[in-house]
Structure 1
Amino acid sequence: MTKLERRSDRILIVDDDPRIRQMVSRYFEDEGFVVIGAADGASMRRALADHVVDLILLDLVLPNSEDGLALAREVRTTSDVPIVMLTGRDDVVDRIIGLEVGADDYIPKPFHLREVLARVRSILRRRRPVETPQQDLGQVLAFDGWRLEISRRRLLNPDDQEIELTTGEFDMLAVMVRNAGRVLTREMLMDQTRGRQLEAFDRAIDAQIARLRKKIESDPAHPTFIRSVRGVGYIFTGEAGQSGTAEARGA
């Protein structure tokens, strides 16, 4: 499929305020997106059952005793679709918890639609293969039998099974493997994985590292790949290198 033939990205916005849903829908549709609206958790579930979506804009505060954090956690049990949290509560704790449960970004209300669009495009751009020189299209980073296929954004374990990673987890692991043997501070990790300078919440970075360890370490409590450096950050200690292209391996 060529770039021009690629279908429009589908955005699901979950917000109980019809004015916000309408405002966001019109703006994103004018930018070429397909937008699906949902007012609560029940309608979100129906939308996800009926449509394939590329990203969810999810309000933190929703009616019927279901909040965005609980819904984000529910989505993460079955899908790695990117989630951007929206909230009128500018609370650091809420922001940290949102990132801990697997959200890819967090935008406080009131927000500028241009900023929301820029963040959404940034996340989606990281999710899809980029146009790179032919020799780099199938780049594979390898460590101890694991393979990280960069253009396809896939992680395969030594048994050739695909391990699902969120956008943030994939970017985090790629940065760490590329910098194997180098101590990375939390600020460096936040900057390199988000593509912009953000407040580096220690708990948010630590939570993402903890989720990665559960997926790649045989004993997450005693990690052998991603090790903590007390008071500084983390270091990737696996035997990292390039294993050739995914195409060459028949992936």
Structure 2
Amino acid sequence: MRVLVAEDHRVLARTIATGLRRQAMAVDIARTGAEAEQMCLLTAYDVLILDRDLPVMSGDEVCRRLRELHDPPRILMLTAAGELTDRIYGLTMLGADDYLPKPFDFAELVARVRTLGRRAPKPPPAVLRFGNITLEQARRTATVDGRPLELTPKEFAVLHLLLLAGGAPVPHDELVRTIWDEHLDPRTSAVRATVSRLRGKLGDPGLILADKGEGYRLCD
């Protein structure tokens, strides 16, 4: 899942981004409303965490403008304006998908972001299988031949994408775009290193093949 955090409070923005990355989400940060709008026009984010009180362009205006797009991101307003009238206004008049007042509990934020991310026309199945590999999204568990796998968030996310592809190649760029964020140098070895560790945990290096120029795919 790819998330944009539009928050001008630098410490809070970094804290939210770090926490979501630990949950295997790719997270970018925008400091102003104008920057948030521009980034959403250039990148297909699944969820936008949007502060209403942003410089240059308010979060309210960002929300209004993005609602005019054909396929806008799901918008979670995260703001100090937490009165009932504020929440009703954000949800009904501005068109936000969810509204969470500050201060907030981070576990609740994660749950709301995941819920928004699942709101798609055709949600993927709760349990993914390919050969002897099984992955349960809700429980965030994976097994091979019934043996539980101890995976890092990034390893879990890579395996999830490969399973969704069902044996078709997943391009390197798609792995970077979906699991990492804009600050990752596409020439880095991060993806290759993560795939290498995942192969080791699966117990059979041949289960994940590298197709030259194509990316990675599962092999039954």
Instruction: Please classify the TM superposition score into its range, dividing by the shorter chain length.
Output: 0.5 to 0.7
8 Å Cα contact 2:67/2:95 also seen in 1: yes
Mapping 1:165-244, distance limit 5 Å: none
RMSD of aligned residue pairs (Cα, Å):
1.8
Name 1:82's counterpart in structure 2.
74
CA distance in 2, matches of 1:67, 1:46: 14
In the alignment, which of 4, 10, 20 is matched to residue 18 of structure 1?
Answer: 10
Mapping 1:1-251, distance limit 5 Å: 9-64=1-56, 66-78=57-69, 79-100=71-92, 101-127=94-120, 128-131=122-125
**Distance of aligned partners of 1:95 and 1:32 in 2 relative to their CA distance in 1, 3 Å threshold:** same
Q: Please list the CA deviations of residues 192-216 of structure 1 after superposition, one character each: whole Å capped at 9, or x if unmatched.
A: xxxxxxxxxxxxxxxxxxxxxxxxx
Q: Please list the CA deviations of residues 79-125 of structure 1 after superposition, one character each: whole Å capped at 9, or x if unmatched.
A: 33210001112222211111112111000001111110001111212
1:104 aligned partner, one-letter code: D
8 Å Cα contact 2:91/2:97 also seen in 1: yes
CA distance in 1, matches of 2:117, 2:8: 24
- Show structure 2 runs of 5+ residues with no match: 128-220
8 Å Cα contact 2:34/2:62 also seen in 1: no
What SS class does the counterpart of residue 84 from structure 1 fall into? strand
Cα deviation, residue 46, structure 1: 2.7
Cα deviation, residue 50, structure 1: 2.9
TM-score, L = length of structure 1: 0.47
Q: Please list the CA deviations of residues 192-251 of structure 1 after superposition, one character each: whole Å capped at 9, or x if unmatched.
A: xxxxxxxxxxxxxxxxxxxxxxxxxxxxxxxxxxxxxxxxxxxxxxxxxxxxxxxxxxxx
- Show structure 1 runs of 5+ residues with no match: 1-8, 134-251
8 Å Cα contact 1:36/1:47 also seen in 2: no
The higher relative CO (CA closer than 8 Å, separation ≥ 6) is in 2
Deviating 4+ runs (over 3 angstroms): none
CA distance in 2, matches of 1:132, 1:94: 35
Q: Please list the CA deviations of residues 156-194 of structure 1 after superposition, one character each: whole Å capped at 9, or x if unmatched.
A: xxxxxxxxxxxxxxxxxxxxxxxxxxxxxxxxxxxxxxx
